[in-house]
Amino acid sequence: MVTEYHIPVLLNTAVSYLINPVIQKHILVDGTLGGGSYSRLICGSISDDSKLICIDKDIHAIEFTTKVLAEYKNKILIRQGNFADVKQISTDAGFDSITGIVLDLGLSSYQLNEESGFSFMKNTVLDMRADKDSELDAKTILNEYRENELTDIFENYGEVAKAGRLSKAIIEHRYKSKFETTDDFIKVIQREYDFKKDMPVKFLSKIFQALRIAVNDELNDLKKVLESSFEIIADGGRIVVISYHSLEDRIVKNFFRDNSVKKSEGKKALKILTKKVIMPSYEEVKMNSKSRSAKLRAAEAVLA
């Protein structure tokens, strides 16, 4: 289903990998609820006695989906929280194990278009927090981080060439005034790289994405959710991840590979279901250009 909130990426593929047809009664988790399109399709595909736990950090996603998924209120439990806490959230909901989890990482279109700081296309406060209760926002990073910490962010998360040049320019700006808005930041980039009217969109996207990853601690949360999901996943349960950044994809790929060998007899392991990473079709990318960097990987838990 296409909502104004977010156009889902690889929707049918993700949900068909998530639901193991051999299992009758599911306890599934949608760790990145967003506009609820994944959750809607999942609810329509599972038995009436199955349950779906829906998690999102962002209060807007929670409010929006509580309304649009009301018809499934007997099957779903919607929780505002961090997917890194999936074990605690599931236990609190009364479930010690789950039969699958899907993570569609990154940002929803709503966050990009309506919330502060995520987009370089309009002038807003440099916030970038998916969870507005968390302490760290983008302007704090730009105003307070040391030069080497800034370089690490742009180099590691944005693969920005000669990232030290950008961090130097940020520090120089701070002597004159504080960063408050996206325009303050863009002007510094524009001046440093001598961009005239047309700003290189790809370059700006990388810089903004790097800052967003740091603000929301996205890579650490991904590592934590994979570990916790593996702990609570039942035999035959599936882990499905759609990522949009090469570092995220590497974390998923390595996690699946490292856990695909049984450490000892009777222990759980992962059977990799996607020998090759799955990407959206040409038609999907044509219809939704934001899907172009998506990569899907799936694995199934097996007991000895």
Ligand X SMILES: C[S@@+](CC[C@H](N)C(=O)[O-])C[C@H]1O[C@@H](n2cnc3c(N)ncnc32)[C@H](O)[C@@H]1O
154 vs 245: CA distance, rounded Å:
14
Q: Which of residues 38, 157, 179, 255 is near ligand X by CB under 6 A?
A: 38
Contact window for ligand X (CB under 6 A) among 20-28, 50-58, 87-95, 275-283: 50-58
| 127 makes contact with ligand X (CB under 6 A) | no
Contact window for ligand X (CB under 6 A) among 30-38, 155-163, 181-189, 257-265: 30-38
Contact window for ligand X (CB under 6 A) among 35-43, 155-163, 248-256, 293-301: 35-43
- Shortest Å, Cβ 82 to ligand X: 4
Indicate the residue among 83 and 185 with the shorter CB distance to ligand X. Answer: 83
| 8 makes contact with ligand X (CB under 6 A) | yes
Number of residues that bind ligand X (CB under 6 A): 22
Indicate the residue among 55 and 142 with the shorter CB distance to ligand X. Answer: 55
Q: What is the DSSP string of the chain?
A: ---SS---SSHHHHHHHH--TT-SS-EEEES--TTSHHHHHHHHHS-TT-EEEEEES-HHHHHHHHHHTGGGTTTEEEEES-GGGHHHHHHHTT-S-EEEEEEE-S--HHHHHHSTTS-SSS--BS---SSTTSS--HHHHHHHS-HHHHHHIIIIIT--TTHHHHHHHHHHHHHH----BHHHHHHHHHHHHT--SS--HHHHHHHHHHHHHHHTTHHHHHHHHHHHHHHHEEEEEEEEEEESSHHHHHHHHHHHHHTSS-SSTT-EEEEES-SS-B---HHHHHH-GGGTT-EEEEEEEEE-
Q: Which of residues 13, 37, 182, 243 is near ligand X by CB under 6 A?
A: 37
- Shortest Å, Cβ 57 to ligand X: 4
| 117 makes contact with ligand X (CB under 6 A) | no
Indicate the residue among 124 and 143 with the shorter CB distance to ligand X. Answer: 124
Indicate the residue among 6 and 87 with the shorter CB distance to ligand X. Answer: 6
| Closest-approach residue to ligand X (CB) | 34
| 34 makes contact with ligand X (CB under 6 A) | yes
Residues that bind ligand X in the complex, under the rule CB under 6 A:
6, 8, 32, 34-38, 55-58, 61, 82-84, 104, 106-108, 130, 221
